[in-house]
A and B are shown apart, each in its own frame.
Chain A
Amino acid sequence: MSKQLKTRREKILYNCRKATLLIERKHEVELTPRERMELELHLAGCYICRVYEQQSILMNGLMSKIFKAARVEPRLDDAFKDEIKKRIKGRIIRGI
Chain B
Amino acid sequence: MHSEPIVDTAVNPGKHQSDPEKWVDLHSDFLFSYAYSRINDEELARDLVQETFLAALEKPGAFRGESSERTWLTAIIKYKVIDVYRKKARAFTTKEGYGMPADDEDFFDPELNNWKKEHWPEPFVCKGTDPLEDKEFMDILQKCLQKLPSLWMSVFRLKHMDDEKTEDICKALRLSASNYWVIIHRAKVNLRSCLQKNWI
Contact = CB atoms under 8 A, between A and B. Distances in A.
Interface residues of B, number: 49
Contact of A62 (B20, B28, B54, B132): B132
Interface in B1-52: 20-21, 23-25, 28-29, 32-33, 36-37, 42, 46, 49-50
Contact of A71 (B37, B53, B115, B192): B37
A84 B49 contact: yes
B24 A85 contact: yes
B32 A76 contact: yes
Contacts of A48: 115, 120-121
Interface stretch (B61-69, B84-92, B182-190): B182-190
Contact of A76 (B46, B54, B181): B46
B36 A74 contact: yes
B79 interface: no
A59 B192 contact: yes
Given A67-B160, A80-B46, A17 B32 contact: no
Interface residues of A, number: 48
A53 to B, nearest CB: 9
Interface in A60-96: 60-68, 71, 73-76, 80-81, 84-85, 87-89, 91-92, 95
Interface in B49-105: 49-50, 53-54, 57
Contacts of A74: 36, 42
Interface of B: 20-21, 23-25, 28-29, 32-33, 36-37, 42, 46, 49-50, 53-54, 57, 108, 111-115, 120-124, 131-132, 137-138, 141-142, 145, 156-157, 160-161, 166, 181, 184-185, 188-189, 191-192, 195
Contacts of B29: 75-76
23 contacts: A1-B111, A14-B112, A15-B113, A24-B188, A48-B120, A49-B121, A51-B121, A54-B123, A55-B121, A55-B123, A59-B191, A63-B141, A63-B160, A66-B145, A73-B36, A74-B36, A75-B32, A76-B29, A87-B54, A88-B20, A88-B23, A89-B21, A91-B54
A68 B161 contact: yes
A65 B20 contact: no
A87 B50 CA distance: 9
A18 to B, nearest CB: 7
A41 interface: no
A88 B21 contact: yes
Nearest to B117: A48
